[in-house]
Amino acid sequence: MWNYTDAVHDHFLHPRNAGPLADANAIGEVGSLACGDALKLYLRINDKGIIEDAGFETFGCASAIASSSVLTELVKGMHVDEAIKLTNKDIANALGGLPKEKMHCSVMGAEALEAAIRQWKGEPAVPHAHEEGKLICKCFGVTDAQILRAIRENGLKTVEEITNYTKAGGACGDCLDQIAEILADELRSPRLVEIAPKPRLTNVQRMQRVMKVIDEEIRPQLEADGGTIELVDVDGKRVLVSLGGRCAQCRASAVTLHDLVQRTLREQVEDDITVEEA
């Protein structure tokens, strides 16, 4: 269950300005049914550029509906030059915050607002998708410009956060590497890849561990099938063994060697060990 603020519950259950605005002169549409949420924002902007009225229609979860509702309250009475500066953060803050996995709902609000104002000014409705940005996430139609905006406005530091804010990478995951690159460039730091520290083994340590794994894990498994194994030598990362019992005559012994012995040693000792039959 999501931990929504009272403000989110309130705006979800009692949405303000819900429904289309008959005399709207600016409409911003973002999202789609396929994406799982969509917002159609209606604005009536007067000659002086003041937003006189606002309305919305939203398909989506409680936080999407609440974000839309609070957005209409925020912009009413604002000048468009002021409104265009609103970010997703302002929307989330007006709701007392959103769960991090739901931040994309506030981003949807900010994008719809921008689209509506651009339409009113006679500019192309979606600036990012075509001339200004390159499509990164094909599943949710997110461009690099949208990703950069989310990073800058919210101080994002990880790929996971970017997915939470923009949805990019949240479906098939094919673009996660590209997102990591965009993030790394933006942070001007090496790519954030977690490298688990690998202990370096001395020759004696390696030999001891290999013996232990063969004695305790591998041999009992082979013995259960009537075979056995003896350690012959450990030469650097080359492990020489001899297979005995039924393994000695088994035509699948090469498979056993590779799939059982080498894999187990790689998992439990070092990942670049090779196993050969002596």
Partner 1 sequence: MKTIYLDNNATTAVAPEVRDAMLPYLGEFYGNPSSMHSFGGQVAGAVDEARQRVARLLGAQPEEIIFTSCGSESDNTAFWSALQTQPEKRRIITTRVEHPAILNVAQYWERQGYHVTYLPVDDKCRLDLDAYAEALREDTALVSVMCANNEVGTIYPVEKMARMAAEKGVLFHTDAVQAVGKAPLNLGESAIGMLSLSGHKLHAPKGIGVLYVRKGVRFRPLLRGGHQEHGRRAGTENVPYIIGLGMAAHLASEHMEQERTGVARLRDKLEQGLLAAIPDCRVNGDTENRLPNTSNIAFKNVEGEAILLMLDRLGICASSGSACTSGSLEPSHVLRAMGVPFTFAHGSVRFSLSRYTTEEEVDFTVQHLPSAIETLRKISPFKG
Write the DSSP assignment of 115-127 as a string of letters.
HHHHHHHTS-S-T
Instruction: Candidates 7, 10, 36, 186: give the one binding partner 1 (CB under 8 A).
Output: 36
Catalytic status, residue 61? no
Does 139 participate in catalysis according to the annotation? no
Interface with partner 1 by CB under 8 A: which range of 31-39, 124-132, 148-156, 188-196? Answer: 31-39
Helix, strand, or coil here: 37?
strand
Q: Which of 185, 225, 230, 233 binds partner 1 (CB under 8 A)?
A: 225
Give the C-alpha separation, 113 to 67, whole Å. Answer: 12
Binding residues for partner 1 restricted to 116-145, rule: CB under 8 A: 140
Residue 38 binds partner 1 (CB under 8 A): yes
Among 7, 62, 129, 207, binds partner 1 (CB under 8 A): 62
Bridge partners of 187? Answer: none
Q: Is 193 in the site for partner 1 (CB under 8 A)?
A: no
* 254-262 CB contacts, 8 Å cutoff, 24+ apart: 256/222, 256/227, 260/218, 260/221, 260/222, 261/214, 261/218, 261/229
Taking the least distance from each CB to partner 1, the nearer of 40 and 206 is 40
Q: Under rule CB under 8 A, how many of the chain's residues touch partner 1?
A: 41
The distance of closest approach from Cβ of residue 140 to partner 1 in the complex, given in angstroms and rounded to an integer, is 7
Q: Assess 106 for contact with partner 1 (CB under 8 A).
A: no
Q: Closest by alpha carbon to 96, among 8, 2, 3?
A: 8
Q: How far is CA 58 from CA 15, 55, 66, in A?
A: 10, 10, 9
In whole angstroms, the minimum distance from the beta carbon of 221 to partner 1 comes to 7
For 40-96, the DSSP string reads EEEEEE-TTSBEEEEEEEEES-HHHHHHHHHHHHHHTT-BHHHHTT--HHHHHHHTT
Asked if 54 interacts with partner 1 (CB under 8 A), we say: no
- Count of beta carbons in the 10 Å neighbourhood of residue 112: 26
39 in contact with partner 1 (CB under 8 A): yes
Distance CA 182, CA 186 (A): 6
248 binding partner 1? (CB under 8 A): no
CB of 131 to partner 1, least distance (A): 26
Sites of contact with partner 1 (CB under 8 A): 2, 9, 12-13, 15, 18-19, 29, 33-34, 36-40, 56-65, 101-102, 140, 163, 167, 170-171, 221, 224-225, 252, 255-256, 259-260, 263
Positions marked active-site = 35, 105
